Structure 1
């Protein structure tokens, strides 16, 4: 295949090593074309002539470009209420149980790990708001983190096109989003009631976590499919360490803890509970 820039297997192996070091993501051989396509845009924007030049730039330790590199590689496919059954289970089973267990403190802590552009944490916030009325006085906080600084900025702003929210029931859209007018026509913004529940932060799951033990629920969905088994084991072990003894872990539909972690029991439909 004719390419604008020479892209050899050596280039790909160097990039794959960098991606693994900085993100924990293991790129398979079939990702070579994807990597070329995404990084070729960076070469054009930086007016570089080759992948060799680009790799030399990364080797110089430019933190800004390293961030752009990571943002270019990571995948951010998401939607509101993706895998609807998870939110139904959260509302019908998990939140009522946590309200009983945490009745004294009236606090609930949820972590959306790999939150992408914010659709997941806003779906969580809607679920919480509809399950726990404000008048009950509960202190609920949702930490939303992602490696990609661009999607964190999008999530923090909470502004989406109408196309992105088309799947939401009209009543939910009306209750929890503001419609834009004038220059903002065709856009919606998440209400302050939702935004106030969520803290967006850039975070590398392979690095240090500013998260204290005692988390009630972790959503980490469609993230570990990019990690090798050893990385998955380390990650789930760390999740178990910060979850409460009976806390919940939700993973993606194609993910499993089978032969990866023995610290969780499967409740069904990719919902796990930490074992004491």
Structure 2
């Protein structure tokens, strides 16, 4: 493939991913996109290398669209990421709660929702954790609850009773697994959020919205807001700040050194969340 064709293909791929998922690859992340494109082309035989034909081939069938999404959306994750922020959430903002519905959006292979379930179990909080992602492949791995032993170091000593070591792997114990449910969602497709409306007290969406901008980011935030019950809390990573252009959706709440975002309700709001 000529360099000019490759450049055109990268641009078309960037547009296709944005249309499918809302994720935008800015110029500074083009190298990552090029690397992923190489992997993609190795997995699928193409009759034509013309950029438009390559992209239309991926967009033509649900199977190929799924392959494209799965390869392009594999975020980094680990157990108890930003642990201090999670502890402030449960021990300060939610200290009197004994029943909670919590969602982890962009949950990848499940480390975050399982960490939340452990935090809740340790504090005697009942309820469910929803692990939500657009990538079906990582959701399958998450449901297994089996991880390489090298990841055990990320789990604090006092929480290791919630896992069982089995040779070179460890598995989340059945009690924690029962607390967690994994589902497919697309942050910019409102219909995938319909069953989740008004369901959650807390929604974590950490290090996900950094890949969104403009209309797709607002659409994603509207879907996250719709998931929350009245007074529900949105949690972003400690390095993310929700700009003023979204203050019609959420109001900022500070607890210790962290910012959280509470669902904003209009005075005449007649939503079913109550």
TM-score normalized by structure 1?
0.85
Query: Are the structure 2 counterparts of residues 15 and 215 from structure 1 closer, same or farther at C-alpha, using a change threshold of 3 Å?
Result: same
| Aligned-partner SS, 1:196 | helix
2:33 pairs with one of 35, 45, 62: 35
Does residue 265 (structure 1) correspond to residue 251 (structure 2)? The answer is yes
**1:1-276 aligned within 5 A:** 8-48=6-46, 50=49, 52=51, 53-59=53-59, 61-99=60-98, 107-132=99-124, 138=126, 140-173=127-160, 175-180=161-166, 185-207=167-189, 208=191, 209=193, 210-262=195-247, 263-268=249-254, 269-276=258-265
Measure how far apart 1:6 and its partner are.
7.0
Query: Are the structure 2 counterparts of residues 81 and 115 from structure 1 closer, same or farther at C-alpha, using a change threshold of 3 Å?
Result: same
Query: Are the structure 2 counterparts of residues 43 and 83 from structure 1 closer, same or farther at C-alpha, using a change threshold of 3 Å?
Result: same
Q: Is the 8 A contact 2:187 2:223 kept in 1?
A: no
TM-score normalized by structure 2?
0.86
| Aligned-partner SS, 2:96 | helix
Residue in 1 that maps onto 2:270? none
Task: List runs of 5+ in structure 1 lacking aligned partners.
Answer: 100-106
Runs of 4+ in structure 1 over 4 Å off: 3-7
Query: Are the structure 2 counterparts of residues 168 and 7 from structure 1 closer, same or farther at C-alpha, using a change threshold of 3 Å?
Result: farther
| Aligned-partner SS, 2:197 | coil
Task: List runs of 5+ in structure 2 lacking aligned partners.
Answer: 266-274
CA distance in 2, matches of 1:216, 1:271: 13
State the Cα deviation string for residues 231-264 of structure 1 (Å, max 9, x = none). 2222223322331221111002332212231132
Query: Are the structure 2 counterparts of residues 254 and 229 from structure 1 closer, same or farther at C-alpha, using a change threshold of 3 Å?
Result: farther
State the Cα deviation string for residues 120-176 of structure 1 (Å, max 9, x = none). 00110001101116xxxx4x0111110111111111101111111212223422x10
